[in-house]
Amino acid sequence: IASLENANGSMATDMRAKLREKDDRVHCLEIEAMERQRTLETLGKELRELRRLQGERDSMTDKVHAKLSNQKGLARNLENAISELQSAAVVHESTVGTGVPDESVIDQISGILSNLLMVMKVNLAAIENTEETESACTSIISGFSPATDVGELDTTELNRQLDAIIRNDREAAAHDLRSQLEEKTNALKSTEATFSELKTRIDQLRKENDSLKIARKDEEEKLNSEIQQLRDQCQTNLEVLTKKEQELQVLRDSLEVNDGVGYISGDESEGDDEGRLPIPRVESIDSPNYSATQTEALATLLVHSGSGVDQARNLTAAEAAKAKADLEIALMDKEKVSKELKCQREALANAKMIISSLEKANKTMLEDLRTRLQDSNTAIASLLDKTQESEKVSKELKEKLEKVEEEKQKMEEEHKTEIIKLKDGALVDALRLASKEKEIKELRTAGSNVSNSDEQDQVPEQELK
């Protein structure tokens, strides 16, 4: 019983320590869940910032598209003006070849150039918003006032200023796009780093959850084994008690004595027997080994035998002595039997006392065992309740982990889509820059062609002057 109490006490202390450890682990997991919630909030803020940057990038791309459309319109106008100038130059060369120059052709060329300058003015004012571009546009417009003579136009200066404006615009757009791309790449790197940290944390949480599951299973197995051992011990104790009760019942049944059996009274003295002579002869007494009833009957016969019996006359002295000796032996046997009976009665009383004390001890032990069994059952029930609570807590933590994993997967998918969109936007921006550079090269070639045609036209005009 003491060992059972010690085992129950040690088991209760162990279970309390384990429950405290589980509470500490649950507290740590709650803290980690709060930290994850904070990281998720920071990631949400970063995503909102990325979306804002994406909106700014889209607005910048729209602006670039508008600028490119304006530049394309300007290029189309330049191409139309160049084609008209080429046709007018051909007509002018034909008139010069005949020797009769046509002034209407010269007026047509000057009108085309003035219209071209006005279109360039409008387009450049719409494209550029900076002070540098505005000053460049004003310088171009002031330098090229409407003129009637072709010789007053400086196409090289016009091409140079156009190249400077386009170069500045291209450099500014490229710088803005590069800065945006750098910011986006930095944001992507930071998001990837946060994702890697989240992955490592989730892996750690999974490992901790697995270790907690394994520890909980081990504890449950230990508890089940301890409960089974306690049940087996209680069963064995009950079996031992039943066996002891059966043995006590057998002892009771075996030690039952008839209370009606009495003692042989030894009040008759030998002096009375000696005074009563002659002693009658009893032929049935042949040996001193008589029972108690036989000796008592013999004594009564000898005592109550009368002196006037006829058979006493025939007894001899030897036979009387022999009968007297047999009587003494019978009396001694009677005393021995009475002493043995007294000893047996005392032993029976002692056995009854021992049996009663054993019954009392067994009853007290049974009561103690029942109380301890009830205490152990209550402790087992409390432990089972605590294990159920720990299972509930573990289930809640599992649900929280599953929610966090789902949110993580959603965030990963959103980040992947954002990364794909950003990569696509970067490719589109690169393609747009390449197309813009091609258009700028085409404009430069067109400007060089215009300058060459103007130089060719200036030679006959000087001759005409």
Give 20-88 as a 3 state SS string.
HHHHHHHHHHHHHHHHHHHHHHHHHHHHHHHHHHHHHHHHHHHHHHHHHHHHHHHHHHHHHHHHHHHHH
Residues 130-174: pLDDT tens digits?
444 434 444 433 443 333 333 333 456 555 655 666 667 667 766
- The one-letter code for the residue type at 71 is Q
The pLDDT confidence band at residue 364, using thresholds 50, 70 and 90, is confident
The pLDDT confidence band at residue 330, using thresholds 50, 70 and 90, is confident
Distance CA 278, CA 314 (A): 10
What average pLDDT does range 81-95 have in this prediction? 73
- The one-letter code for the residue type at 168 is N
Residue 29 CB coordination number (10 Å): 20
Distance CA 159, CA 137 (A): 13
Q: Which of 398, 433, 449 is the C-terminal boundary of a domain?
A: 398
In this prediction, residue 458 carries a pLDDT of 57
For 261, the 3-state DSSP assignment is coil
| Cis ω for the linkage preceding 146 (within 30 of 0) | no
What average pLDDT does range 325-340 have in this prediction? 80
Q: Could you tell me if 69 and 191 lie in one domain?
A: yes
Residues 57-73: pLDDT tens digits?
777 777 777 777 777 77
In this prediction, residue 366 carries a pLDDT of 78
- Give every CB contact of residue 238 below 8 A, 6+ residues apart in sequence: 369
In a domain, 224, yes or no: no
Q: Which of 357, 378, 398 is the C-terminal boundary of a domain?
A: 398
98, pLDDT greater than 80: no
* 353 or 259, which is more confident: 353
In this prediction, residue 125 carries a pLDDT of 67
Residues 207-221: pLDDT tens digits?
877 787 788 788 778
Residues 110-123: pLDDT tens digits?
777 777 777 767 76
**Sign of the alpha-carbon torsion through 353, 355, 356, 357:** positive
Q: Could you tell me if 242 and 109 lie in one domain?
A: no
Q: Which of 383, 457, 450, 407 is nearest to 11 (CA)?
A: 383
Distance CA 269, CA 272 (A): 6
Q: Which of 352, 383, 398 is the C-terminal boundary of a domain?
A: 398
In a domain, 173, yes or no: yes
Q: Could you tell me if 426 and 380 lie in one domain?
A: no
In a domain, 15, yes or no: no
In a domain, 28, yes or no: no
- Give every CB contact of residue 315 below 8 A, 6+ residues apart in sequence: 278, 279, 280, 281
Q: Could you tell me if 203 and 247 lie in one domain?
A: no
339, pLDDT greater than 80: yes
Q: Could you tell me if 245 and 180 lie in one domain?
A: no
* 321 or 102, which is more confident: 321
- Which region holds residue 99: left if phi is over 0, alpha if psi is between -120 and 50, else beta? left
For 100, the 3-state DSSP assignment is coil
| Cis ω for the linkage preceding 101 (within 30 of 0) | no
Q: Could you tell me if 390 and 410 lie in one domain?
A: no
In this prediction, residue 3 carries a pLDDT of 67
419, pLDDT greater than 70: yes
List own/partner pairs for 347-354 with CB under 8 A and 24 or more apart: 348/255, 348/257, 351/251, 351/255, 352/255
What average pLDDT does range 339-365 have in this prediction? 80
What average pLDDT does range 220-245 have in this prediction? 76
Residues 193-202: pLDDT tens digits?
766 776 777 7
Q: Could you tell me if 141 and 274 lie in one domain?
A: no
Q: Could you tell me if 57 and 190 lie in one domain?
A: yes
Residues 270-323: pLDDT tens digits?
444 444 434 344 333 344 444 455 455 555 545 444 444 444 444 466 777 777
In this prediction, residue 8 carries a pLDDT of 66
Distance CA 74, CA 71 (A): 5
- The one-letter code for the residue type at 178 is R
Average per-residue pLDDT for the chain: 67
Token match 């009663």: residue? 356
Structural domain that includes position 158: 44-215+405-464
DSSP letter for 260, please: T
For 420, the 3-state DSSP assignment is helix
Distance CA 215, CA 265 (A): 83
Distance CA 80, CA 116 (A): 9
Q: How many domains does the chain have?
A: 2
H-type alpha helices, 99-258:
103-127, 131-143, 155-254
In a domain, 26, yes or no: no
In a domain, 171, yes or no: yes
Distance CA 209, CA 250 (A): 61
In a domain, 394, yes or no: yes
Q: What is the largest CA-CA distance in the chain?
A: 219
Q: Which of 161, 190, 149, 180 is nearest to 64 (CA)?
A: 180
Residue 124 CB coordination number (10 Å): 24
In a domain, 9, yes or no: no
Share of the chain above pLDDT 70, in %: 61
In this prediction, residue 327 carries a pLDDT of 76
Residues 10-59: pLDDT tens digits?
777 777 777 777 778 778 877 877 887 787 777 777 777 777 777 777 77
Q: Could you tell me if 410 and 392 lie in one domain?
A: no
Q: Could you tell me if 199 and 323 lie in one domain?
A: no
* DSSP secondary structure letters along 273-342: HHHS-SPPP-TT--SS---HHHHHHHHHHHHH--TT-SGGGG--HHHHHHHHHHHHHHHHHHHHHHHHHH
* 4 or 357, which is more confident: 357
Q: Could you tell me if 172 and 94 lie in one domain?
A: yes
Q: Could you tell me if 323 and 248 lie in one domain?
A: yes
User: Computed over its alpha carbons, how large is the radius of gyration of the chain?
Assistant: 66
In this prediction, residue 280 carries a pLDDT of 41
In this prediction, residue 2 carries a pLDDT of 63
Distance CA 272, CA 268 (A): 7
Q: Estimate the share of the chain in helix, then strand, then coil, as percent rounded to the nearest 5.
A: 90, 0, 10
What average pLDDT does range 346-364 have in this prediction? 79
